[in-house]
Amino acid sequence: MAKNYIQEGEILTVTAGDSAIVSGAVVLIGERVGIALADIPALGAGSASVTGVWAVAKLGTDAVAQGDLLYWDAANSRMTATAAGNTLAGFAAAPAAAGTTFVHIKINA
């Protein structure tokens, strides 16, 4: 193996800010997202998955078709179909009707 290989890159170490991060929460990593794999204490480090399909909160009024781009609305801690002011997070792995509050998202794709 090449001497400069680090890791597969599916799981990265992230550091929490002033607030703790709960397991399963979306974590902003610059212009990408991850999903915390365990609770991360405030100012502590922990693991986040940066690949896969996850069930994540979404704006209840959004109707999402499979394949639609989804954006992380950090101010409201949910996915939305609205790009303006939000971070591209991936695409809908399955449709999610208006009135539902969760969407299956393929993150970072």
Q: Could you tell me if 45 and 57 lie in one domain?
A: no
Identify the pLDDT of residue 66. 98
Tens digit of pLDDT for each residue in 65-78?
999 999 999 999 99
For Cα atoms 49, 97, 104, give the angle at the middle one, nearest 5 degrees: 10
Q: Could you tell me if 71 and 101 lie in one domain?
A: yes
- Write out the residue range of the structural domain in which residue 99 sits: 53-107
Whether 72 is covered by a domain: the verdict is yes
Identify the pLDDT of residue 88. 98
Residue 1 has pLDDT above 90, yes or no: no
Residue 61 to residues 5, 25, 82, 99, Cα–Cα distance (Å):
44, 21, 11, 6
Residue 51 has pLDDT above 90, yes or no: yes
- Work out the percent of the chain whose per-residue pLDDT is above 90: 98
For the chain, the domain total comes to 2
Average pLDDT over residues 27-32: 96
